[in-house]
Structure 1
Amino acid sequence: MTDPALDAEALRERAVASLITARDRTTLLTSCVDGPDLTAQHSPLMSPLVWDLAHIGNQEEQWLLRAVAGHEAIRPEIDTLYDAFEHPRAERPKLPLLPPEEARRYAADVRGRALDVLERAAFHGTRLTEAGFAFGMIAQHEQQHDETMLITHQLRRGPQVLTAPDPEPVPLFTGPAEVLVPGGPFTMGTSDEPWALDNERPAHRREVAPFRIDTTPVTNAAYRAFIEDGGYDEPRWWTAEGWAHIRRNSLTAPLFWRRDGKQWLRRRFGVTEVVPPDEPVLHVCWYEADAYARWAGRRLPTEAEWEKAARYDPAGDRSMRYPWGDAEPAPEHANLGQRHLRPAPAGSYPAGESPLGVRQLIGDVWEWTASDFLPYPGFRAFPYKEYSEVFFGPEYKVLRGGSFAVDPVACRGTFRNWDLPIRRQIFSGFRTARSEDV
């Protein structure tokens, strides 16, 4: 029988480590540039970095200090300034935001108090405190903003300020191009992952017909073949909305790509480099992913197909937490946590392969699916509707798997991301699928 005190201590250690890891990343992303770069809006699609910094602190104060601990508000007057639904991103530079040093002091003050709360917390009693959920939610929230801030750094013009070692080189992948995923039911979503967010719940049975899915994400070389074959000039590959979008915006290649004679270059965190052919393609919108799949005689996988490929273990007829099993992600499993600032070559991380033989389902690039972002049967919003419920509907498409910019705390086999089909600044790629002839 497990000792509840030992369970509580393990939860406490996990929560402390997750919060510290997130804050270390936030500090790096907001200390590598000077004040003007923190307060500037580098794209109307993104907030100033200083807004993200104070928003992180404000959310932590609201949930850990006020909701969990019952403390009085430290800075109630700034709540509306850092309410993501109150002010669209394009308007945030005009708000009376906290200056960088004040934002840093505020976030640090909140964190110190939150760690005191965590030291005394009992991980039971309410849904918010059960298994340390609120602390896990806040760690995930901060890491999601760390990914958002990394996107801002990619959009930022100027010299390189972020560096990281490249992924280990691997031999050119020569394995099978696709993998058969057997038909039949599987368990989708989760009801027992303690820090899973509301849209991942509840676990439910889902029937999936047999299909084949790419062993690795689509590479730059494969996507370049689509470009060179006139993919952006042929309306038959595009949905009506997608064709109108690329025509209206004169899109001819992934974001940050440009042609230089016979080669393609890209800008990556302030450095211009030749597009590496073996990396998964990055910075494509859903319309581009869908058009490529049509051109290739294939389609995007549905969200249920993607999750079955990522979690289903036919030997045990069960759904695992990750493609490699139930163990937490380690460096040999996936490219996560901004450890590298680029995707690893296609075919990397054999230790992270699923039982069916699919690779890189976790990390490297977010993968567009064919599915709209919809609730699971029995969905209940928790702890607030604005995390998921207000986004449900056909306007948003689901992405799965995480990217190199995602921390393991905010990435698992059930984790669901979503965005508008026009978005390209995100670290998005895709893989394709096809129905199995039966």
Structure 2
Amino acid sequence: MTIETDRLRDRVAAELGRARDRTVLLTEAVDDGDLIRQHSPLMSPLVWDLAHVGNQEELWLVRDVGGREPVRRDIDELYDAFKHPRRDRPQLPLLGPAEARRYVATVRDKALDVLTRSRLDGAPLVDQGFAFGMIVQHEQQHDETMLATHQLRRGAPVLDAPAPPASSGPVTGEALIPAGPFTMGTSTEPWALDNERPAHQVVVPAFRIDRAPVTNGAYAEFIDDGGYDDPRWWSASGWAYRQAAGIVAPSHWERDGDAWAYTKFGRTQRIVPDEPVVHVSFYEAEAFAAWAGKRLPTEAEWEKAARYDPATGRSRRYPWGDEEPTAAQANLGQRHLRPAPVGAYPSGVSPFGVHQLIGDVWEWTSTDFAAYPGFVAFPYREYSEVFFGPEYKVLRGGSFGTDRSACRGTFRNWDYPIRRQIFSGFRCARDA
């Protein structure tokens, strides 16, 4: 056993602990009635998410890595996300709140014992702690999902957090990203997921990209200019969705006299004009961009703007460099319960002067979710491969609800273009 292995074990244990602390916060904030209630057909009951993270931890860490006997083989099918759509999960014989808490605690004890006894090198599943990192990211992703469920929950507020930092000054205009190749994806990030791999060269024509995400104030101008009533700005599928769904503004917005108000986790207040707009679908983002005379960036354009350093010609882990995000660089990890105003993180800016590419809001791109050249499914097809295709659009950059462990310059998220319950926003681009 080396000092490096000991440090890796300590880091893994700390990351598992951080994820579980957040899970506990999100599930203990409500009573048992709210835990078992389905707050929207788009989301699972919170108690399903709670037991699901434990079941995945059992499957991968206790059984696969540790080779231990199952804790609860009888519940595997209940918590298989592919076998039961979210809308149907309340009808399943799920573990109750107390039983779910006992189950995840038992699994965690066994997983930590496996960690102390496992080699963290050699086989790909355990090399550099990959399986443990995968489970950390999985739990944090479900924590963000549970946070989105809290946003859909009705009733008195139960979550609280300090306001994000104030803007350091206005951020306007566009950044010019020159034509040329850059390295997209990664082959070296130890906990990167299969869809981020492998690193490969991509040649991107010159383009311009907004230096900041589209704000509430700018989006309100689109609404007030009749943007939701004019099919010129919408794709055919987007206009069909807009009409069928009857949407007239971002989710959780409502008229307040001559202005707009936004309900955040049970509290309603007027929109903050310089905060990035959130809870918009791909189709809404696409329509705004057309109205503004622009378009959404491709995934490759977004990543080049976020990672490429023209001074060195290399791609960095984050816009600011290779160091892990801090509170001074990005709005991540549920530290705040809303996006920060544009200009709030000047130390997180990219070499091209583009702000807030990490955190605040997931940013829609125009790219369908697809495999990179040389993609290999690992450790199972259902993580990424089964989702490849034109049904899903790629989002990048993370949100205020995304943990740092599940957010980096190469991290890829994807969803249906109609989705609005996620913490999604966007920025615009155009050809140079």
Give the TM bin, normalised by the shorter chain: over 0.9
What residue identity is the alignment partner of 1:111? Answer: R
**Deviations, residues 157-181 of structure 1 (Å, cap 9, x unaligned):** 00000000011122441x4411011
Look up the match of 1:228. 224
SS in structure 1 opposite 2:162? coil
**Deviations, residues 207-249 of structure 1 (Å, cap 9, x unaligned):** 0001000001000000000000000000010000000101111
Matched ranges for 1:261-272 at <5 A = 261-272=257-268
Look up the match of 1:149. 146
Cα distance between partner residues in 1 of 2:311 and 2:208:
19
Look up the match of 2:420. 424
Look up the match of 1:284. 280
Cα distance between partner residues in 1 of 2:242 and 2:250:
11
Structure 1 residues 226 and 255: alpha-carbon distance in aligned structure 2, compared to 1, 3 A threshold: same
Task: Check the 8 A contact 1:264/1:274 in 2, yes or no.
Answer: yes
Cα distance between partner residues in 1 of 2:203 and 2:407:
24
SS in structure 2 opposite 1:116? helix
Look up the match of 2:185. 189
1:398 and 2:394 are equivalent in the alignment: yes
1:139 and 2:131 are equivalent in the alignment: no
> TM-score with structure 1 length normalisation?
0.98
1:47 and 2:47 are equivalent in the alignment: no
Task: Check the 8 A contact 2:397/2:408 in 1, yes or no.
Answer: yes
What CA RMSD, in Å, does the superposition of the two structures yield over aligned residues?
Answer: 0.8
Look up the match of 2:233. 237
What residue identity is the alignment partner of 1:71? Answer: R
What residue identity is the alignment partner of 2:230? Answer: E
Task: Check the 8 A contact 1:172/1:278 in 2, yes or no.
Answer: no
Look up the match of 2:53. 56
Cα distance between partner residues in 1 of 2:169 and 2:30:
37
Cα distance between partner residues in 2 of 1:197 and 1:182:
29
Cα distance between partner residues in 2 of 1:326 and 1:172:
25
> Displacement of 1:121 after TM fit?
1.7
Look up the match of 1:315. 311
What residue identity is the alignment partner of 2:95? Answer: L
1:72 maps to which of 63, 69, 74: 69
Look up the match of 2:339. 343
Cα distance between partner residues in 1 of 2:410 and 2:431:
23
SS in structure 2 opposite 1:386? helix
> Displacement of 1:117 after TM fit?
1.0
Cα distance between partner residues in 1 of 2:30 and 2:312:
50
SS in structure 2 opposite 1:90? helix
Look up the match of 2:78. 81
Task: Check the 8 A contact 1:283/1:429 in 2, yes or no.
Answer: yes
SS in structure 2 opposite 1:328? coil
Unaligned 5+ residue runs, structure 1?
Answer: none
1:165 maps to which of 151, 162, 165: 162
Segments of 4+ moved more than 2 angstroms: none
Cα distance between partner residues in 2 of 1:308 and 1:13:
33
Look up the match of 1:356. 352
Cα distance between partner residues in 2 of 1:335 and 1:109:
33
Cα distance between partner residues in 1 of 2:256 and 2:399:
28
1:369 maps to which of 365, 370, 388: 365
1:412 and 2:408 are equivalent in the alignment: yes
1:14 and 2:11 are equivalent in the alignment: yes
What residue identity is the alignment partner of 1:284? Answer: V
> Displacement of 1:6 after TM fit?
2.4
> Displacement of 1:13 after TM fit?
1.7
Cα distance between partner residues in 1 of 2:98 and 2:388:
37
2:330 maps to which of 330, 334, 340: 334
Cα distance between partner residues in 2 of 1:214 and 1:348:
16
What residue identity is the alignment partner of 1:298? Answer: K
Task: Check the 8 A contact 1:189/1:204 in 2, yes or no.
Answer: yes
What residue identity is the alignment partner of 1:213? Answer: I
1:207 maps to which of 203, 208, 224: 203
Task: Check the 8 A contact 1:218/1:430 in 2, yes or no.
Answer: yes
Look up the match of 1:122. 119
What residue identity is the alignment partner of 1:370? Answer: S
Task: Check the 8 A contact 2:173/2:210 in 1, yes or no.
Answer: yes
Unaligned 5+ residue runs, structure 2?
Answer: none
Task: Check the 8 A contact 1:265/1:272 in 2, yes or no.
Answer: yes
Look up the match of 1:109. 106
**Deviations, residues 244-284 of structure 1 (Å, cap 9, x unaligned):** 10111111000000112101111110111111111000000
1:180 and 2:176 are equivalent in the alignment: yes
Look up the match of 1:32. 29
Task: Check the 8 A contact 2:172/2:212 in 1, yes or no.
Answer: no
2:212 maps to which of 202, 216, 227: 216
Same amino acid, percent of matched pairs: 67
Tell me how many residue pairs correspond in the alignment: 432
Task: Check the 8 A contact 2:256/2:270 in 1, yes or no.
Answer: no
**Deviations, residues 49-76 of structure 1 (Å, cap 9, x unaligned):** 0000000000000000000010111100
What residue identity is the alignment partner of 1:360? Answer: Q
- Higher mean displacement: 365-374 or 346-355: 346-355
> Displacement of 1:125 after TM fit?
2.3
**Deviations, residues 85-124 of structure 1 (Å, cap 9, x unaligned):** 0100000000000000000000011001111111222111
What residue identity is the alignment partner of 2:290? Answer: R
What residue identity is the alignment partner of 2:76? Answer: D
What residue identity is the alignment partner of 1:367? Answer: E
SS in structure 2 opposite 1:282? coil
